[in-house]
Structure 1
Amino acid sequence: MKTQIKIQAATRWSYFQWFLLGFYWLQDEGKLKVNIDVPFLQKIGLWNHNWFLSGCSNRILPKIYSDSDLLLGQAVFDDKVVKFAIDSADAPFLFDRQVLDDVDVYFKMQCPKEFPAEGFHLTNDVVIPWTDYAFVHDEPDEYVGKKPKGKRKDFIDLAQYRYKIHPLMIGPRRLARGNDFYQLRKGYENIIQSKRLKKDKDVMCYFGNAKGPGRSEGVTLDTIDYDWEKDIMGLYPTLNHPNEKRAVMRDIIQKLPNSDARIINDGNSDAGSANHPELVVPLKDFGAYVAQFKYNVNVSGYRMSIPNRFIDSFSVGTSIITDDLKIKWYQPFAPEEVIEIGQMGYEPMEHVDWQQVEARMKVLPEQHPEIVEELFNKKWRPDVVAQYMLDTLMSAKG
Structure 2
Amino acid sequence: MMCPTTPPARLSALALCLAALLCLTACAGVEDVPPAAPARGPAQAAPGTAPAGAPPQMRAPVAPAPTTPWNTRISPASQQIPSFASLAPAVDRSIAFVARKPAGNVAIDQPGVRLTWGQLHQGLTTFRRILPELDRDPSVLSKYFTWVPLSTDTLLTGYYEPTIEVSRTKQGPYVWGIYRNPGGAGKHHSRDAIDYAGALSGKGLELGFAKDPIAVFFLHVQGSGKLRYIEDGSTVYALYDGKNAHRYVGVGRVMVERGCFPEEEMSMQRIRRYLEENPTQVREYLTKNPSYIFFKASQSTPVGAMGVPVTPHASVAVDPGFMPYGSLLAVDGDLPGYPPGTGPGVERFTGFVMAQDTGCMRGNHFDLYLGPGEKAAHQAGLMKGTAKAYVLVPK
**Interval of TM-score (by shorter of Structure 1 and Structure 2):** under 0.3
**TM-score normalised according to structure 2 size:** 0.24
Higher helix share: 1
**TM-score normalised according to structure 1 size:** 0.24
